Structure 1
Amino acid sequence: MQFLLLSMGCLLFVYTRLYAQQTSDSAYKRPLKAVIADVEKKFGVQIRYNEKLVANKYVAYADWRYRPTLEATLENILSPLDLKVKKDKGLYKLSEYEYYRWAVSDGWAELDRIAAQYNNQQEWEQRKAQLKPCLLEALQLAHLPAAPASSPIITAERKYDGYTVRNIAIEILPGVYINGSLYKPAKYKGKIPVILNPDGHWQQQRYRPDCQYRCAVLARMGAMAFSYDLFAWGESQLQFEEADHRKSLSMTIQALGSVRILDYLLSLKDADTSRVGITGGSGAGSHTVLMSAVDDRIKVSAPVVAISSYFYGGCPCESGMPVHACGNRTDNVEIAAMAAPHPQLLVSDGGDWTDKTPEHDFPYLQKIYTYYGKTDYVSNVHLPTEGHDFGINKRTAVYDFMAKYLGLNRAAADESKITIEQPVAMYVFGEKGERLPATAIHGFTQLEKVWSQAITTAQ
C-alpha cells in the first residue's frame, strides 16, 4: 500500500510539473531542442543543427505556434529566437537569422520601392546627392583623417613575361598598414590606366592563382593593377586577428585603405588619372560598388559575383556600418547605380545570390543608365552553369570590359604567359613578418584608439 501511494505520488508530481510547464502561467514554454524533435516527428523531416544554437533556448507558447505547414510552423517557432532553417538537398539546417539574406521576392519588392522615388535624370541626381554624403557619414569618412607622412614601403622589382611586380605597404593610419602587389607592363610609354583589385573572401587571399592571373594579365594589357588585402586578411594578419575582419569597423578601414591606395597610385608620374578602374569578386565586389559610389576618381567598375537586391553582403566588412539605412534605406543595387553614367560590368552566375541578376536587378540598372542616354555603358555577363568564384570565364569578361573602356591591348591577355608566384614572394614584411615596422600597432583595441583619435582630429 505504501509503495502504491508512493507511486501515485510520483505520478501526480510528474503530472503536476508537466501541467505547470504547459499553461499560460509558464507561457507554455518548452525547450527548443524538444520542440524541434516534435516538429521532426510531426512533419516527417530531419533538422540538423549545432548544439550551441539550441542550448538554453526555450520556445514561448510552443504548442500555439504550430500551423498546417512545416514552413509556417518553423517561421512561428524560430523567428522570435532570431533563428531560421535552410533546405539543402532534402535536409533542413538550423542557422542564425541572416539579416543580409532576403527572400528573392522581398528583395525585388524593396528595389521596386526604392526605384519608385525617381523617374528621370534630375530626380536620380537628387537621390544620389542625398545618398553619397550619407554613405560617407555612415562610414565615418565624411571627414578624412590626415594621412601619415611616411612613404610607402616598396620591395625590389620582379620581372616576368610582359609585366613586372613589386610589393607595396602603405601606412593608412598611424601604425596601420595595407599591403599589396603592384603589377605594371614591362614596357610602356606615357601615362597608363590604374586598376584597383581588392581581394575577396576566398582562401589564400590575394596569393591565389586567379588573383595573380587577373592582375598580371591586366598589366600585360597595359595597365598598372594593384592587388591588395582586405582588413585583417592576408598580410594584414601580422597586425590583427582574422576575427577582427568580422567587426563593423573593418568596412571603414577597407574604404580608407582604398582611398589611400588611390592617393598613392594617382600621384605616380605614369598614372593616367582619367582612366581609373576597380574590380573585385565576392566581398571585394561589394567593396568595388561602394568605392565606385563614394570616390569620384573611379571611372570604370566591374563587381564580380557580388551584387544582388536580395543579398546585402554576408560579412560586416560589407554591411557592418549603417550604409544601407541611408535615404530611408537603400540596397547594393541602388548603390551600384551611383556609378552611372560611368561604364560598369556585373558578372553573375547560377550558383549564388547573383543567380537572378538578368531578371530584375540588371534591368533596373539599365533604366538608370537610360537617364543619361548610355544604356550600353552598363552590361551583364551571366554564367548560369557556374558558381561563386573568379574563374577564367569571369576573368575573360573583365579583360574584355577593361580593354574596351580603358583602352587596353586585349590581344596581350594571355594567361599562359603568367608566372604564378609563391605567397612568400608577395610578402612586404618577410616570411615571418620580421620587417614589420616597429611603429606598427597590434590588435583591434589599439586600432580603435588610433581611429578614435584620427577622426576626432579630422572633425
Structure 2
Amino acid sequence: MKKTFRFLLLLMSGACLFYTHLLQAQQTSDSAYRRPLKTVLADIEKKYGIQIRYNEKLVANRYVTYADWRYRPTLEATLDNVLSPLDLKVKKDKGIYKLSEYEYYRWAVADGWAELDRIAAQYKDQQEWEQRKAQLKPCLLEALQLSPMPAAPPSKPIITPERKYDGYTVSNIAIEILPGLYINGSLYKPAKIKGKIPVILNPDGHWQQQRYRPDCQYRCAALARMGAIAFSYDLFAWGESQLQFEEADHRKSLAMTIQALGTIRILDYLLSLKIADPDRVGITGGSGAGSHTVLMSAIDDRIKVSAPVVAISSYFYGGCPCESGMPIHACGGRTDNVEIAAMAAPHPQLLVSDGGDWTDKTPEHDYPYLQKIYGYYGKADQVSNVHLPAEGHDFGINKRNAVYDFMAKHLALDRAAADESKITIEKVPAMYVFGEKGEQLPANAIHGFAQLERIWKQATNTSK
C-alpha cells in the first residue's frame, strides 16, 4: 500500500513539474508569441497537407514572432506572412515547396509587367521619351561610379602572335584598364581586310568555361569570317581574370562597375585601330553578358547595334551583383532592364528569347513595349525579337544564327561566310594571354579584391 502511495505521489509530482514547464514554455505576448521557424513550417505542412524542403542552415536559429497570427485561409498568404519578415520565400516545383532566400531580382510576371506599365506611363511621345533618357543616362553613370571617368593607364595592350585559320585570325589581348588591373580577351579578325570594317564586342556570360566555350569561339570566329573585328572577353573575376581575383569577387557590387569600365576601355582600343569603322559598332552577349550588353548600349553612344541574348525581362533584374549590384535601377524614380534596353532606340536591336528562362514571355509584353518606344521615332521595325519557345538558357546554334542574320543586315556583313564547319575550336591554353599558370602576368598586376578597392579609391578620389 505504501509503495502504491509513493508511486502515485511521484506521478503527481512529475505531472506538476511537466505542467509547470508547459506554462513556462507557453507562448505569451511577453515572448511575442515566438516559435521556431522549423516548428512553424512543420505545422504548415500538416495543416495544408504539403511538403516543404529546405537546407537546415536556412532555418537554424530563426524564429517567427506572433506565429499563430500569421496564418491565413490560404496557403500562399500564410507562407507570405510567415516568410517575408525573414527575407525567405518558397517556390513550388512538381508539388513540392522549396524554401529559399528572398530574391530581390526575381519578380512575379504580373508584378514585373505592372512595373513596366508604371514606368511607361511617364512618356507618350518622342520628346517626352528623350527627356526621360536625358534623366536616366547621367544617373546610370553616377550609379556605376563612372562619373567622372577614372583616367586610363598610359600602357599599351599586351598582344600575343596571331594564329591563322580558315578565313580568320585570332590573337589574345590584355588591356590595362586601371593601374595593375587587366581585362583579357581574344581578338578575331577576317583573314583578308579591305578598308574599314565593323567592330563587334562579345562579352562573356555566366556559363562554364567562360570565353573558352565552343559556342563562344564559333560565334566570334563566324563574325570575323563575315567581315568584322570580333572581340571576346572575360567578365570581372571570370575566366583568365581569376589569375588576379577569386571567383567570389565576381559577386561583389564593384564587379558591375569594373565590367562597364572594361568595355569602355576595350572600345577605346578597338576604335583606335585604322581598320575599325566607328560608324559600325555592335555588341552581343548572352545571360549576364546580355544584361551587360543592354547597359553598355544605354551609356556608350558609340555602340550602334545591340543583340542581348536570353537576358532581358521586366520581371528579372539579373541574378548576379555584376548585373544589379550597383543602384542603377533606382534611377529616374526606378527603372528596369527593359526600359534600359529601350535607351538604345532608335539604333537596331535584337532580343533573342526562349521558353526555358525569364525571357519566356518576351513576345507578350516586353517586346511590344520596345516596339512602342521605337515607334516614337517611326522605326518600330528596327527592334526585333527571335523567340525560341522550345529552347532553354544557352547561346546555341539557333541563337547564334539569329545574331548572324541581325549583324549581317545592320552592319553590312557577309552572312554566307558564317559557316561554322570551317571554324577550328582551339584548346583552352591557346587562348591565354598570361600563360597556363599566369607565369607571364605583368609585375604590376594587382592581386585580390582588397587591393583593387584601394586602387579604385585612388583612381576615383572617393572615400567609398
Superposition TM-score, scaled by structure 2 size: 0.97
Query: What letter corresponds to residue 206 of structure 2 in structure 1?
Result: H
Q: By how many angstroms is 1:188 displaced?
A: 1.8
Q: By how many angstroms is 1:17 displaced?
A: 2.5
- Structure 2 SS opposite 1:327: helix
Query: What letter corresponds to residue 395 of structure 2 in structure 1?
Result: F
Alignment of 1:259-408 (within 5 A): 259-408=264-413
Q: By how many angstroms is 1:70 displaced?
A: 1.2
Identify the residue that residue 140 of structure 2 maps to in structure 1.
135
Q: Distance in 1 between matches of 2:53 and 2:24?
A: 29
Show structure 1 runs of 4+ deviating over 2 A: none
Q: Distance in 2 between matches of 1:15 and 1:160?
A: 80
Q: By how many angstroms is 1:23 displaced?
A: 1.4
Identify the residue that residue 228 of structure 1 maps to in structure 2.
233
Q: By how many angstroms is 1:456 displaced?
A: 1.2
Q: Percent identity between the aligned chains?
A: 84
Which has the larger Rg? Answer: 2
> 2:32 aligned with 1:17, yes or no?
no
> 2:439 aligned with 1:434, yes or no?
yes
Residue segments in structure 2 that go unaligned for 5+ positions in a row: 1-5
Q: Distance in 2 between matches of 1:9 and 1:232?
A: 63
Match 1:40 to one of 42, 45, 62 = 45
Alignment of 1:52-91 (within 5 A): 52-91=57-96
> 2:7 aligned with 1:8, yes or no?
no
Query: What letter corresponds to residue 143 of structure 2 in structure 1?
Result: A
Q: Distance in 2 between matches of 1:219 and 1:6?
A: 88
Match 1:167 to one of 148, 163, 172 = 172
Q: Distance in 2 between matches of 1:49 and 1:416?
A: 46
Identify the residue that residue 447 of structure 1 maps to in structure 2.
452
Q: Distance in 2 between matches of 1:445 and 1:167?
A: 27
Alignment of 1:77-156 (within 5 A): 77-156=82-161
Query: What letter corresponds to residue 429 of structure 2 in structure 1?
Result: V
> 2:218 aligned with 1:204, yes or no?
no
Identify the residue that residue 254 of structure 1 maps to in structure 2.
259
Query: What letter corresponds to residue 53 of structure 1 in structure 2?
Result: L
> 2:220 aligned with 1:215, yes or no?
yes
Q: Distance in 1 between matches of 2:240 and 2:93?
A: 35
Query: What letter corresponds to residue 57 of structure 2 in structure 1?
Result: K
- Structure 2 SS opposite 1:183: strand
Show CA shifts across 1:402-442 (max 9, x none). 00000000000111111111111100000111000110000
RMSD: 1.0
- Structure 2 SS opposite 1:17: helix
Q: Distance in 2 between matches of 1:52 and 1:321?
A: 28
Show CA shifts across 1:247-299 (max 9, x none). 00000000000000000000001000100000000000000000000000000
Show CA shifts across 1:355-389 (max 9, x none). 00000000000000001111100000000010000
- Structure 1 SS opposite 2:364: coil
Show CA shifts across 1:311-363 (max 9, x none). 00000000000000000000000000000000000000000000000000000
Alignment of 1:173-212 (within 5 A): 173-212=178-217
Q: How many residues align?
A: 456
Q: Distance in 2 between matches of 1:318 and 1:129?
A: 22
Q: Distance in 2 between matches of 1:14 and 1:392?
A: 67
- Structure 2 SS opposite 1:311: coil
Residue segments in structure 1 that go unaligned for 5+ positions in a row: none
Q: By how many angstroms is 1:6 displaced?
A: 2.6
Q: Distance in 1 between matches of 2:324 and 2:125?
A: 29
Q: Distance in 2 between matches of 1:27 and 1:125?
A: 53
